[in-house]
Amino acid sequence: MKSIHCIIILWFAALTVPGPAWSGPRGKPFAALPVERAQVLLEQCSRAAPQKVESLWTPTAREMETAEALLPQYFSDKIARLKFQDSCHERGYFHIQPLNQFFRQYAGLVMDGQRFLYLNFFNKSYAGGNLGASREWRFEPVMICDGGPDFWGLEFDLEKQRFQNPRFNGWLSECP
């Protein structure tokens, strides 16, 4: 009988031990970064980042889902059509990978008194494949210098329900 009580107590204790901050729906290609880690996304090394950020906050699942619902159309209308110059490719340019090849990290920003979501995109291959063998990206900012359009950022205006300011990483110009 004592062993049953002990097991129940241990089971209950395991349920109440706090884990990492909530990061978004499991199995989804996006997550909200904890506010204390989101600041790092504003310190990009090879692309411009949002400026004049007054404060940070953690986006809700509903806010992220709103942006996610509008993202495929924006991506196909604006991003997928872009041509990236690259002398290493036979044609001298290439198009960005499809949207389903990117994970996204969300941070909430206040700029000029308005609430925005900042989306940090990175190619899934960097995080270990389709569902991300490494789950660390759900809690730690992914920061890559260079990398070209496999790494980019985008702002989402929550009030106007629109995306703006896509910015892509630079890259080294050496061909493999």
Angle at 57 between CA 65 and CA 135, to 5 degrees: 60
| Structural domain contains residue 2 | no
| Structural domain contains residue 3 | no
Q: Which domain holds residue 148?
A: 23-168
| Structural domain contains residue 16 | no
Q: How far is CA 55 from CA 4, 21, 50, 93, in A?
A: 49, 19, 12, 38
Dihedral angle over CA of 163, 80, 139, 171, nearest 10: -110
| Structural domain contains residue 18 | no
At 118-144, the pLDDT tens digits run 999 999 988 765 445 567 888 999 988
| Structural domain contains residue 62 | yes
At 76-132, the pLDDT tens digits run 999 888 877 665 655 555 678 899 999 999 999 999 999 999 999 999 988 765 445
Write down the pLDDT at residue 92: 57
| Structural domain contains residue 128 | yes
Our count of domains for the chain comes to: 1
| Structural domain contains residue 140 | yes
Q: Rg of the chain's alpha carbons, rounded to an integer?
A: 19
In whole angstroms, give the CA distance from residue 27 to residue 81.
28
Write down the pLDDT at residue 77: 94
Q: Model pTM greater than 0.85?
A: no
Q: What burial class does residue 24 get, using C-beta atoms within 10 Å of its C-beta: 0-12 exposed, 13-18 middle, 19+ buried?
A: buried
Q: Among all chains, which residue has been given the structure tokens 């980042």?
A: 49
| Structural domain contains residue 5 | no
Write down the pLDDT at residue 12: 34
